[in-house]
Amino acid sequence: MIKNISLRSFTVFESVDVGFNPGMNVIIGANGTGKSHLLKVAYSACYDSAKTNGDNSKRAKARFQTQLADGLNAVLQPDQLGRLVSRRPGRNRAEVRIGFEQADADFSFSFSTNSQTDVRLDTSPESAAPATPVFFPPKEILSWFPGFQQLYQNREIKIDRTYADLCDALALPLLRGPRTRRSAPLLSQIESVTGGLTIFQNGQFYFDIPSGKMEATLMAEGLRKLGTLGFLIGNGSLDTETTLFWDEPEANLNPLIIQEAAKIMMGLCSLGFQIICATHSLFLLKELHILSNELTQPVNYISLSTHMGTTVVEQVDNLGLVTDIPSLDADLEQSTRFQI
């Protein structure tokens, strides 16, 4: 699990330190404050760290540096790596530090405004991150899956690597044997929302619903996202060693399903899963707050706001203590104008 990240001169972040709970972490803020950037840089660094073997030889260090640079370019998609450095006159240098629960996996790296495809590893990890993370982008991927991996590998397409990484995770078959006792109730809960079990046959995904096998492409997009979650738990890509990064869980879900999604997310955290999500949904924030109080299960709220042209971070474990909630401000403002 990721424990913290520090960013210096990285995109909109001049200097921030963000800590993560082992369970639920929610990033909130207005557009342009860096929610997706924070998610993606943490994910990219964790993903590439999980691919290392703790080898500190010069060759391994050089290979890791290349992996980190390639990952940032593929996930955030700047014209060149140096474009991720905060925009100021003259040359500047971005610094990224990643900390894990497993402290010997910690590392840091940096790169300058004129960097194109290389980073400098400032402190090397002594071991790999414990597990490959999973990233859920706003768009679902089940309907894209047939042929997407080959297209991504063979063609220049302007789609970030999180979609390809998610396809790689989905390509793993389901684990043998019965479901584990711990995850079975949650999988049943997911299936009750989606209408049936997510299955993979003949190169594409289906939902096994009471009326028969239904192509994933014919299911509602929001339900496909929850079906993806259930399938990844079933094939072992998501477990208690894995960090799930989720950008806009509320996308394409109506409030009733958002309510169920919040229960599923908090249920995963109660089993030991770590989730880091970014949201614009006041409804989802309220549901997580209600569940946090009911379950006495903390939620780490990470609020991003802009001050004098740079993003600052506020962290609290109670939604009522967050001083800047743009979706709440917009909701209150609308309430003053709304009449039936």
Q: What is the mean pLDDT of the chain?
A: 91
Query: Does residue 146 fall inside a structural domain?
Result: yes
pLDDT tens per residue across span 74-110: 999 999 999 999 987 767 899 999 999 999 999 999 9
Residue 152 inside a domain? The answer is: yes
Confirm whether 154 is domain-assigned: yes
Residue 196 amino acid letter:
G
How far is residue 158's CA from residue 136's CA, in Å, rounded to a whole number? 17
Token pair in block for residue 331: 């909701």
Whether 184 is covered by a domain: the verdict is yes
* Residues 7/281, Cβ–Cβ less than 8 Å: no
> How far is the C-alpha of 134 from the C-alpha of 118, rounded, in Å?
24
Burial class for 3, CB neighbours closer than 10 Å (0-12, 13-18, 19+): middle
> What's the pLDDT at 54?
61
d(CA 222, CA 231): 15
| 224 CB burial (10 A radius; 0-12, 13-18, 19+) | buried
Lowest-pLDDT range of 119-123, 301-305, 325-329: 325-329
Q: Bridge partners of 244?
A: 134, 275
Does 280 map to a domain? no
Q: What is residue 131's predicted lDDT score, i.e. its pLDDT? A: 84
For residue 204, give both structure tokens.
Answer: 């594409």
Q: Which two tokens stand for residue 250?
A: 């509320």
Three-class SS string for 118-157?
CCEEEECCCCCCCCCCEEECCCCCCCCHHHHHHHHHHCCC
Domain count, the chain: 1
- Across residues 272-283, what is the average pLDDT? 94
Per-residue pLDDT reduced to its tens digit, 60-74: 888 999 999 999 999
- Strands 197-201, 204-209: pairing is antiparallel
Is 288 contained in some domain? no
> What is the reported pTM?
0.94
Q: Is residue 246 part of a domain?
A: no
Confidence of residue 176 (pLDDT cuts 50, 70, 90): confident
Q: Looking up tokens 């990844």, which residue turns up?
A: 232
Task: Lowest mean pLDDT of 24-38, 124-138, 216-230, name the range.
Answer: 124-138
Percent of the chain's residues with pLDDT above 70: 97
At residue 246, does pLDDT exceed 90?
yes
**Quick check: is 160 in a domain?**
yes
Domain that holds residue 185: 139-241
Can you tell me which residue has the tokens 């009733």?
256
What do you get for the CA distance between the two ends of the chain, in Å? 48
Confidence of residue 53 (pLDDT cuts 50, 70, 90): low
